[in-house]
Amino acid sequence: MSHILAIDQGTTSSRAILFDAAMKIKAIAQEEFPQHFPNSGWVEHDPCDLWSTTAGTCRAVIEKAGLGPDDIAAIGITNQRETTLVWDRKTGEPLHRAIVWQDRRTAEYCRELREAGHDKLITTRTGLLADPYFSGTKLKWILDHVDGARARARNGELAFGTVDSFLIWKLTGGAAHVTDATNAARTMLYDIHKGRWSKPICDLFDIPMEMLPEVKDCAADFGMTRADLFGRPIPILGVAGDQQAATVGQACFTPGMMKSTYGTGCFALLNTGDTPVVSKNRLLTTIAYQLDGKPTYALEGSIFMAGAVVQWLRDGLKMIRDAKETQPLAERADPAQNVVLVPAFVGLGAPYWNAECRGAMFGLTRGSGPEEIARAALEAVGYQTRDLLEAMQADWATTGTEPTLRVDGGMTASDWTMQFLADIIGAKVDRPVMQETTALGAAWLAGHRAGIYPGQAQFAANWMLERTFEPTMDVALRTEKYAAWKRAVAATMAF
C-alpha cells in the first residue's frame, strides 16, 4: 500500500493520477465530458458525467499502472469549486444538472442582495462577495425552480454538495455526506471565522440547513469506498478545492507566498497565515487549507476565463485544432498591431466583479488575423494576473522583498505565455518540475494522513524549480500595454 490515488475532477475533464511512495507520477488517465449551455451565461454539467468519468478514470489508471487495489493506501480528491449539486438521499439521483461555477444565472438576485445591503453580512461572515460565482445563490435557484425541492430538503430528503461531496457520496455508496473546509468556504454559506455553516445566511437564502454536509479538515477520514468499485474498500483521506490543492502542491505554506493556477480559469492565492485579511480591493478572503482543526487563510483573485479562451479559439472560432497552436501563432503576430481581447464571456471576476458584461476585442485592423487574435488571447491571461497581483499587493504590504509567483496548470507549458506574464507583471515567474500540482496537493493530504508522505517542512524542501522567467520587457512598453488593457476593460464594462 505505497500508492496514492488522486482524483482531479475539473471543469472540462476528470482525471485520475497515481502517485508512488516518492510522490512521483506512476500513471494518468483522463476523460473529457460535455458542457451544457442552455441559456446565455448559463453553464451546466450532467452529474452522471461527473461520476462516470471519475469512476472510469480511476479504474483505468489502476489498470494502466499495472496495480491492484491492495497497492493503494488512500484516495485524495480535488475538484472544481462552487459547482452546485442537489441529490436525493435515498436514491442518489440528482434533482437538476450541476450548475457550474462559471454560471451567471443568479446575477440579478445578487444585485438585489447588494442593493438591500446584505453584501456586508456575506462578506463579513464568508469573506466572499455577493456574486453568482459562489454556490449559495445557485442552490437557492435550484430550490426555487424544482417543484417541491425546498419542502423535501426541510424533510431531510435532499443533500446539497459541491463536486467533492457528490463524488464522496457516490464513492461511499451514500455512507458519507461530507466536505472539507476549503470547499465549504466557497459556498457563500460558511462562516470562515467560526468554522461552521452560517444560519443567518442560510435563512436569508431560505436554504434548509438539513441538506448541508459535515465539514472536515483537508486531511481527515472522509469515508471508505464501496468494495465493488475497486476490489476492496479504500479510505478517502484528503480533500481540497482545486485552487487550494494547488496551493498545497506548490508548498505555499509560508505567509506571503503566492501561486497562480492556469486552467479553465486563473486563480491566484496569497497565503496570509492565521490572519483572515479583509480586502479593500475586491479580492476574496478564503481558507487556503485546514489541518488539525486550524485554518490557514488566503487572499484570492479569480479570473473566469484563461485556458477557456484558448478553447473558444478552438471550438468557437474553429481557428485552431489544438491548444499548442496558439504559441506559434502568437510568435508570428504583427508587433505593430495592439489587439486587446477582454475575455468577459461569462462576466469579469476579480477585481471588477461585473457579472453582466460580456467579451470584447479592441484594436482590430484589416490586417488583423489569427496570429493577432491568438496573441491577444494569451496576453489577456497576463493582464488579468497583473490586475490580481496589484490588488493583492495593495491589501498585503510586502516586506520589500521582490515578489515571485509560482505557477501551474496547462497554460504554463507555453514558454511564450509565461515570458509575457513575467514581462507584464514585472516580476519573476517560477515554473516547477512537477506540473500536476493540484493533484499532488490532494495526494499529499491523503498520503500524509495515511502516514506514507512527509510533513510540511520536508514536502516544501522537496519542491523543485524547472525554470524561472525573468522580466525583460522595457518598462515604458509594459506601462503602455497595461494602460491599453485598462482602457479596454473600462470600455467593455461601459458597453
The whole-model pTM stands at 0.86
pLDDT above 50 for 118: yes
Q: Concatenated DSSP letters for 308-327? A: HHHHIIIIIS---SSGGGHH
Per CATH, domain 3-242 is 3.30.420.40? yes
Using an 8 Å Cβ cutoff, are 406 and 259 in contact?
yes
pLDDT at 399 over 70: no
Determine the average pLDDT of the residues in 27-47.
92
Q: What is the rounded average pLDDT of the residues 87-103?
A: 94
| Percent of the chain surpassing pLDDT 90 | 71
Q: How far is CA 360 from CA 99, 103, 104, 110, 495, in A?
A: 25, 19, 18, 24, 9
Q: pLDDT tens across 432-457, in order?
A: 998 889 999 999 999 999 999 999 99
The pairing of strands 258-262 and 404-408 is parallel
Question: Is the domain defined by 250-432+464-495 classed in CATH 3.30.420.40?
Answer: yes
Q: Is the pLDDT of residue 282 over 90?
A: no
The residues of the chain that CATH labels 3.30.420.40 are 3-242, 250-432+464-495
With cut-offs at 50, 70 and 90, classify the pLDDT of residue 485. very high
pLDDT of residue 400: 45
pLDDT greater than 60 at residue 410: yes
Residue of 474, 485, 281 whose CA lies nearest to 382: 485
Query: Across the chain, what does the average pLDDT equal?
Result: 92
Return the H-helix or E-strand segment holding 15.
Answer: strand 13-19
Residue-level pLDDT at 398: 56
Q: DSSP string of 114-181?
A: HHTTTHHHHHHHHS--S-TTSHHHHHHHHHHHSTTHHHHHHTT-EEEE-HHHHHHHHHTTTS--EEEH
In the predicted structure, residue 262 carries a pLDDT above the cut 90: no
Q: Are 258 and 405 in contact (CB under 8 A)?
A: yes
Nearest Cα to Cα of residue 192 among 204, 180, 210: 180
Report which of residues 26 and 353 the model is more confident about.
26
- Asked if residue 368 has pLDDT above 60, the reply is yes
Rg of the chain over Cα atoms, rounded to whole angstroms, equals 22
- Residue range 1-26: mean pLDDT, rounded: 93
